[in-house]
Structure 1
Amino acid sequence: MHDLRRRRRRFNLTYFWPVLGIAAIVILWTLANARLTKEYSDARITAFSHAIATAKAYSEQLSHTVNLYDQITMTTKFNWEKSDGLFRLEDYADAGIYPTSKSLFVNIVDRNGQMVTSTLPFTRPVDYSDTPWFRNHKAGLLTGLQIHGPDTGKITGKEIIRFSRRLETFDGEFDGVVWVSVEPFHIASYYDEGNLREDDFISVRHDDGPVLATKINGPSRIFYREDPFFEELSVVKEEPAAKFADNKARIVAWTRLENYPLVALAAISETSAFVAYEAEKRELIEIVSAATLFIMVFTVIAIYLAAHLTQKRRRDEEVKSIFRLAVDSGRDGFYMIRPLYDEHGTAVDFQVEDCNQQGAALAGFQMKELIGKKFSCIYSGDYLNKMVEFFRLALTKGFHEDELAVSPQSKIKAQWVQRRAVRSGADLAMTVRDISEIKAHEQALSQMANADALTSLPNRHWLNRFLPTALEQAKTNGSEVALLFIDLDNFKNINDTLGHQAGDELLKAAAMRLKALVRASDHVVRLGGDEFTIILEDVKKIDEVTRVAGKIIQSLSEPFKLGNTSGNRIQASIGISMFPLDGEDGETLLKNADIAMYAAKAAGKGRHHFYQTHLSDTLVLRVSKEQALRNAIERDEFVLHYQPRVDTYTGQLRSAEALVRWNHPERGLVSPGEFIEVAEHTGLIVPLGEMIIEKACKQIAEWKRRRIPVVPISVNVSALQFNKGNVRSILASCLNRYAVEPSLIGVELTESCMIKDDDTVPHELEALRKLGVKLLIDDFGTGYSSLAQLQELDVDILKIDQAFTRRICDGKEGKAFFNAIVSMADALDICIVAEGVETIEQLHLLQILSCEEVQGNLISKAVPPNEMASLMSKQYLFPQYA
């Protein structure tokens, strides 16, 4: 009972004054709002009443005025028809019977629309036959009094409104029109204009909306943006500001005239209507605001005084507030921790004073089991010491938090937790959150960012983060680090021939071999494409690096089984840079290892090379050569030479192969051996190949123009260009442009183009075959094509590589191999061409072996177009000693 009274007293002291102050303010503003609502309602009712009264009074005045105009037209109609058209308004105007004002006058036109009489003097003929209202009267479409306008009067040139009637003969035929012309202000004048305040207006409108006249009390021109609709006889309503040109809201009332198609409208500005209300509103708000401020100041003072009385109880209230906040979060474990001190005032242990259910479950206890326990009874050893240190830091700093990988000694049911402790008086309030899922997600994201998706090896991003730390550690330890830059030689051929899926298989297999060759402390990284890097740490001797490089080269040279094929071989070129000898940062070491790798490739591939300073100059030269080749293609610095192909027995010229030469502006003719490899490596072989096709077609057209007996010309197509799938379209375009028959062009493809493991090759070859060009396999015997593939691909000519031509004179084995190729070609009805024929002995053996055609320097070297034209004119090219 005593506790209940104490809680009530505490409530009175702590909450009474703010509650009372808020209640007083709410009541004060509620009363003020009620008064303002009533005042606004009264002002609105008054404004509505004023608008209705104005509209009604104006409608009565307007009815009287229009009735007067109607009487004038009826009287005039009667006099005209009675006088049989001899009635003259001028006479009646002079007698004062009709008004003579220039703002109101009467007119009559005859059946032809010509003015015949008027109360307004006119000195020239006036024709109204073209006006719509006259034509409507004449057509009998209008009866009774008609109201038109406003429009411009033909006599006065002023804006007028017409009140007109049809004139008829005694037998009902149309005899003209009589009308009263009135200037708009005449009918817009209002006898009670003193009741119109600024921005108020009255207007008379047709009952279908258009305005006839408006009277405005104010400097602005006021009008509706769009004509209103008058569905009812009499209405009052609020019109928003958007409906008026001056963007001011108004209360609008209108009344239809009983006998005429007109509406009297009164618009009262809300600004004017509520001016008194707004003034009272401002005054009341100022009074209530001042009273509110007084109440607030009084309440603050009262709260401040009450706070002193509850200061001793603040600690308990803070603890409960923190506890409620933690419990409400639901996700976190919450604990109130009391420090236990020794005789020297040092916190040596901590006790759980209170916790929530989540906190007890996270620690592996029930709430009743955990509350009251000391941490020394829950944990021991090193883990207890770390917990005590955490709490001491929180007591010292007032706040401490960390993220903790949970020790196996801990009873906490999580892998990772976030701990946060806040000092509350003499105790600590601690929250513990399970962040195991968040950490697992972070680890997964880190894995995605730092691992190669194909091989699961660390990637370039990981390497860029790892190298600086590894090099700093090596610098501290005084040890060396080796960086091996590995590039897979001939990997492009695998991609081009077997497809990207086989290439991916090879990369994964190569990654596994690399990992198996290094120590657990070393790192294998895939940089991208077919490039890998290995970091060897704590290197004692250079021989260790050489031994690892040798093992890598040997391992990667072993055949790979890819898909349905086996025996696929590649090589590896390795560039090596050493820390700190070849660079003190990761970027420099990578660059120098890359340079050394290019040196290994240049030396013949399948080997390793340590970085040396002069190698940078070699790389610069290579880059310069690539740029020079790119510029040469843009400037079209290439020419074609042609090497004849003849019948083995008769020497008759059968065909010629187009061979490209670089016509360098400084060095003269450069042979393909110096730039074709660079072109293939950089992809420039594609635009160069297109250029060769076009030049060959253009040259054939030129020879034909000169009436030279042209033989078929074959052009070489690289594997990269062929696999792009656009050779047919390029050939078709050039043949059409230069009017060259397809039979005069042959396409020479290497074996690597032909054995790609998909439908691309047959599809492309079929497209070329339909075009009508001949298909040749160049350098046959150096690739992996089989008898079955040759049969399926249906080529026209096999050009046997010159390496086999050289061997036919070396013994039975060379002849047997060559003879086997000839027999195979015979069975498939394919023509055989021996390349690289250099001697008479080779020619005689080829004749014996039934080789059909030969090509080589014995017959003719590759010659420029003019010399080729001479050879085509000869037709037979065997040397005399043949």
Structure 2
Amino acid sequence: MQRIVRMLPSGRHLPDEQWEQHHRFVLRTLVGLTATVIAYASYAQHGLLGALGLALPVAALGLAAALPILTRGEKANLGAAGLMTAAAVVVHISGGHTEAHFLFFALLPLAALYATPAPFVVAVGYVVLHHFVVGSLLHGSVFMHGQPVLQMALLHAVLILVESWACFVAWRRFEDRRELVERLVSERTAQLRRQHDALARLAAVVHSTDDAVYTASPEGLIETWNPGAERLYGYTTAEVLGRHVRALVAPEMEDLVEPALLSLDRSSNLHLERLHRRRDGSVFEALITVSAIRDAHGALTGHAAIARDVTAQKRARAEAVDAAERLARQAGELTRLALHDPLTGLANRAVLQQRLTARLSARRDAHSAVLLLDLDDFKSVNDVFGHGAGDAVLLSIAERLGACVRPEDTVARLGGDEFVVLLEAVHGLEEVTAVAQRLIAASNERVEWGAEVFQVGCSVGIALIDPADRRSTDEVVRDADIAMYAAKTAGRNRFEVFEEAMREEVVAQSQLSRDLRRATTDGQFLLLYQPQVDVESGRITGFEALARWQHPVRGLVMPDTFIPIAEGTGTIDLIDDWALEEACRQLAAWDEAGLPPFHVAVNISAHRLARGDLADAIRSGIRSTGVDPARLEIEITETATMSCAVEAAQTLHDVRALGVSIAIDDFGMGHSSFGRLRALPVDRLKIDRSFIAALHEDTATGSIAGAMVAMGSSLGLDVVAEGVETEGQLQVLRSLGCHSAQGYLFGRPLPAEEVGQLVRRSTSTVVPAGDTAVP
């Protein structure tokens, strides 16, 4: 049975539309057969009812095969059964005449329209069962009366099976051929698609490349021309097609074209360097790769060329050779510079590090020492007379320092006006201090620079190294640096030897850093409020909140002391968040006390601005206190917007979306551009106090402050002057059109509880100076 099933054609899954067409044909055939049965039965005098009864099975199977709820397989099987039923009814009506049996043979192939074996097998099986079962039970229904039933059944079965076998063989052969053709078509289609894609990619490359790509006939007539060739030679495609490639070369190279074309018969590729010319007549050096194009028989049908302008490359190659020679000449100088200070010629930091590391690793019996020198008055030389004078001083000092030590000792310049001396082997502190005194004396000698004479001096820190010293090189230099600062603190132009006690100040700074962390949680911070007034009316418009640290031991610590430490340790974020929350809380308290609805400005550090969650902190403070966000302002320094430009811009936009105002503090001390200010959501500019201090009545026009006021006004920003201390400065600011001001003229920073008194005493005049003052 399995062998028979394997012999059957596998068939194929027809598309729905095609299958429906075949099925509709079978249904129409069943309709025609139904009518034929009725007509044939009526002709055979079965009567109308008899005819309808005989046609009923065919019609029922046809209607069932048309039901939409059935699957395709079920419809096909019912259709095949309907065809065979129609043939069986006709044979029955004919009384078993042999000729009527040919209807089975005529209708059987229609079962193959479904392109699957199942309907065909159903039809064959139907015929076999019909002949054996019905033919055996109902004599005269399948075979004529008087005929041997078994003989006729076998005869018809053989004929049916032979026809079925022939149909199956033809179907199988057809399926095999169809599958072969479909496979060949599919493979060829895929091959053509791949070739098309490859050609499309190649065409895209040729079209987009900067190189000139063109093809020509065997005689040298140009046939194709890509955009790269248009750019390189200046000819459009229409101008160059059909012209000889000789038109592309320089006149002195034209005689070389024909030999090159002839050589393509013998070789497939040529690599040439020739002088080519552009449409405008200019000549350039071209690197050309020419490839022969041949047909299937190897005959030359043309050539393809790729041309590239290598003028710049050859020039760069020549320049690279010159540069290599210069680098070779400079190699010795670079080696020297890698180990020595370029200005003074002394050893640099790397050499000092290497020698000090070797000295600490050697564990010799002798002592050694590191002396760190810092010139005392060098900055004033640079600031007043410029770097030329400063370099002259450094060169003179470096030469003198080298003369004060032994050849085996090392004198190095760390940078700026700092020098280090490594004494390799000393016999005691007295020898080291004697060297230090010589160094100080040498630095105090006069330095002449043109008509000027300088005398700087130096402070020296000494770190002794004993044979059992376990410090690293960085620790030794650090200790010498601590001793040097101790010498400067003690009066300069002297030396100090490092002692452990000198670390106490460093430890104190560290302790202050730890105290600062506790201060944010222990409530040691407080806010003071300095009034801001309207320049025209003199009325108080708001306050700037200024943080102070009430240390339990040190007392009141000013911002210039704790802010750098807070920024270095990251504690500044906690301080900023506390100040925001406290300012919101105080605004709410003043509202309950019935004070006017002025605004409060809070300073925010660059570090806090860069974190990106400032808007969340402000939103939390506003929600917890219920204050109007429009009465809150944050102040950021001009440099803060530059040090974290991307983060600052996004954060400021988030803050501004809450309705909170934004002010640029210490304006003029950074490098903000006009375009940068326009891009930021800024409401106010606060001019730094240094520009206000320079204001006088006769300097109002053309002053820097005046330019800042004008720029702020042009941007639509409110301009605030900081550090206003005199009536004269106020008059100048009023004449310049400045909007607001703050400073000691209007009041010093006040505790929150005294703000109400100041506001209630204020009238339409400027708040008088000298009110309750708190540092």
Q: Same fold (TM over 0.5)?
A: no
Report the TM-score, using the length of structure 2 for normalisation: 0.41
Higher strand share: 1
Higher helix share: 2
Report the TM-score, using the length of structure 1 for normalisation: 0.36
